[in-house]
């Protein structure tokens, strides 16, 4: 049967990697406190390594009110719209607090437009995967995993991940969410804790008093979703080999039992050595090995950003991960054509080496975690 032009075009894209390239989005993303300037730094480094020419660049569409309401409450969304219009914020004090817009989620200028833009980028990527226009999509401005249905949390104002997974559910029946961020992906886990269609797997630092405090080993999901929530609580200082070994064991078990037909990966870079969050002792190569495992599954996959407070290191990490996703070898010396070249001093190297701090996760800890988690499947 002769292939139509449209089908040929779609066929062509299906092996492609789509990358959200939108200067307006980068500008909005740079409004987020603590990571101001990060979005364009990441993009500039990816461009300096000439990786853009290997990807299909797409602009981002802002999310409509209806799409935002597919997860967030009407109260929360209408409050964001109201606050954007009003100039006198004084008498909104208690409302701001009620919707989490304080402390680590201070009000940002034009907050509703900001939320539409941030959410829209990940949803645009999900739409590309649903339409079969590509097998892989990347949005380093996404990954805001703490936002809850009716409030901002942990400097996440909108849960773009939940909205993107909701969009993917239009076509895919079993979606695996993997969260490599240093912090537990509580917002995404909460949204799907009752669902057997979305399995959430989060590896994170877990110790008394460490934010957000959820994501313990016994946190396995609820009701129909029991055993579709997987948490890997780790002590501080974890290194590449321990991390990759436990990820590989769990990921392969999840692959063979859950058989996902789509994957969403949150690549928060605050787990990398040198981040001020100072939690784990990983390097981009360690995370790179984990995503190589995911890429080998060959199912539609969406890659998102997340935390990452050492801005040059976050740019190094996500540029390296982009090269892994593209299957390209890139040099470790930062191209001096890069606009922000001086940010990468004193080494001007892409590689981030691990620190000397010890890995508090003992071999017994890792064995216990692996056995407990991998044995869970006898119940289902």
Ligand X SMILES: CC1(C)CN(C2CCCC2)C(=O)N1c1ccccc1/C=C/C(=O)NO
Which of ligand X, Zn ion, none does 178 bind, CB closer than 5 to 8 A by kind? none
153 scored as a contact of Zn ion (CB under 5 A)? no
270 scored as a contact of Zn ion (CB under 5 A)? yes
183 scored as a contact of ligand X (CB under 6 A)? yes
Residue 9 CA neighbour count, 13 Å, CB half: 5
- On the 0-12 / 13-18 / 19+ scale of CB atoms within 10 A, 15 is exposed
CB neighbourhood size of 106 (10 A): 12
Residue 154 counted as an annotated binding residue: yes
Using an 8 Å Cβ cutoff, are 180 and 263 in contact?
A: no
Shortest approach of Zn ion to residue 48 CB, angstroms? Answer: 26
Which of Zn ion, ligand X, none does 155 bind, CB closer than 5 to 8 A by kind? ligand X
Which of ligand X, Zn ion, none does 260 bind, CB closer than 5 to 8 A by kind? none
34 scored as a contact of ligand X (CB under 6 A)? yes
Outline where 225-349 has alpha helix (H): 240-258, 284-295, 311-326
268 scored as a contact of Zn ion (CB under 5 A)? yes
- On the 0-12 / 13-18 / 19+ scale of CB atoms within 10 A, 18 is buried
For ligand X, the closer CB: 59 or 276: 276
- What is d(CA 29, CA 191) in angstroms, rounded to the nearest whole number? 23
For ligand X, the closer CB: 142 or 300: 142
Paired residues of 176 in beta bridges = 199, 263
Shortest approach of Zn ion to residue 180 CB, angstroms? Answer: 10
Nearest to 172 by CA among 261, 257, 258: 261
Shortest approach of ligand X to residue 306 CB, angstroms? Answer: 5
Residue 183 counted as an annotated binding residue: yes
- What is d(CA 198, CA 169) in angstroms, rounded to the nearest whole number? 9
- What is d(CA 149, CA 79) in angstroms, rounded to the nearest whole number? 13
Shortest approach of ligand X to residue 20 CB, angstroms? Answer: 20
By CB under 5 A, name the one of 182, 201, 291, 325 that touches Zn ion.
182
Instruction: Provide the 8-state DSSP code for 193.
Output: T
Instruction: Provide the 8-state DSSP code for 206.
Output: -
178 CB-near residues (< 8 Å, 6+ apart): 201, 202, 251, 263, 264, 265, 266, 294
Dihedral sign, Cα of residue 272, residue 278, residue 280, residue 282: positive
By CB under 5 A, name the one of 31, 166, 183, 239 that touches Zn ion.
183
Using an 8 Å Cβ cutoff, are 203 and 243 in contact?
A: yes
Gyration radius of the chain's alpha carbons: 20
Residue 237 counted as an annotated binding residue: no
Which of Zn ion, ligand X, none does 279 bind, CB closer than 5 to 8 A by kind? none
Shortest approach of Zn ion to residue 32 CB, angstroms? Answer: 12
Q: Determine whether 72 is an active site residue.
A: no
Residue 309 counted as an annotated binding residue: yes
Of 146, 166, 184, 204, the active-site residue reads: 146
Instruction: Provide the 8-state DSSP code for 147.
Output: -
By CB under 6 A, name the one of 120, 142, 154, 274 that touches ligand X.
154
For residues 297 to 316, the per-residue mask of contacts with Zn ion, x marking binding by CB under 5 A and - elsewhere, is ----------x---------
Per CB under 6 A, which region of 44-52, 164-172, 301-309, 371-379 contacts ligand X? 301-309
Binding region for Zn ion (CB under 5 A)? 181-183, 268, 270, 307
- Catalytic residue numbers read 146
Residue list, annotated binding site for a divalent metal cation: 181, 183, 270
Binding region for ligand X (CB under 6 A)? 34, 104, 146, 154-155, 181, 183, 211, 268, 270, 276-277, 306-307, 309
């Amino acid at each position: 049967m002769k292939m139509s032009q449209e089908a040929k075009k779609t066929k062509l894209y299906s092996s492609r990697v789509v990358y959200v390239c939108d200067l307006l989005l980068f500008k909005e993303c740079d409004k987020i406190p603590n990571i101001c300037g990060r979005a364009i730094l990441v993009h500039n480094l990816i461009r300096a390594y000439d990786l853009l020419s290997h990807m299909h660049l797409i602009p981002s569409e802002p999310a409509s009110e209806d799409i935002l309401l597919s997860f967030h409450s009407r109260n929360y969304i209408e409050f964001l719209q109201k606050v954007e219009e009003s100039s006198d914020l004084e008498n909104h004090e208690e409302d701001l607090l009620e919707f989490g817009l304080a402390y680590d989620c201070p009000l940002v200028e034009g907050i509703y437009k900001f939320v539409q833009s941030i959410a829209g980028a990940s949803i645009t990527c999900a739409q590309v995967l649903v339409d079969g226009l590509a097998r892989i999509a990347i949005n380093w401005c996404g990954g805001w995993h703490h936002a809850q249905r009716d409030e901002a949390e942990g400097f996440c104002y909108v849960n773009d991940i939940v909205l993107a997974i909701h969009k993917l559910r239009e076509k895919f029946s079993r979606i695996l969410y993997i969260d490599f961020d240093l912090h537990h992906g509580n917002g995404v886990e909460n949204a799907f804790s009752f669902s057997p269609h979305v399995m959430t797997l989060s590896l994170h630092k877990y110790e008394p008093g460490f934010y957000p405090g959820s994501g313990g080993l016994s946190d396995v999901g609820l009701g129909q979703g029991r055993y579709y929530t997987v948490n890997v609580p780790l002590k501080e200082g974890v290194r590449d080999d321990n991390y990759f070994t436990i990820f590989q064991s769990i990921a392969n078990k999840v692959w063979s039992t859950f058989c996902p037909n789509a994957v969403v990966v949150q690549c928060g870079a605050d787990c990398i050595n040198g981040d001020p969050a100072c939690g784990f002792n990983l390097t981009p190569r360690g995370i790179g090995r984990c995503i190589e495992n995911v890429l080998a599954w060959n199912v539609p996959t969406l890659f998102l950003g997340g935390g990452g407070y050492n801005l040059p290191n976050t740019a190094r990490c996500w540029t390296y991960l982009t090269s892994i996703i593209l299957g390209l070898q890139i040099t470790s010396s930062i191209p001096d054509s890069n606009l922000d070249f001086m940010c990468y001093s004193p080494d001007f190297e892409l590689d981030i080496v691990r620190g000397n701090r010890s890995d508090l996760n003992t071999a017994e800890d890792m064995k216990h975690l692996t056995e407990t988690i991998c044995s869970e499947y006898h119940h289902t």
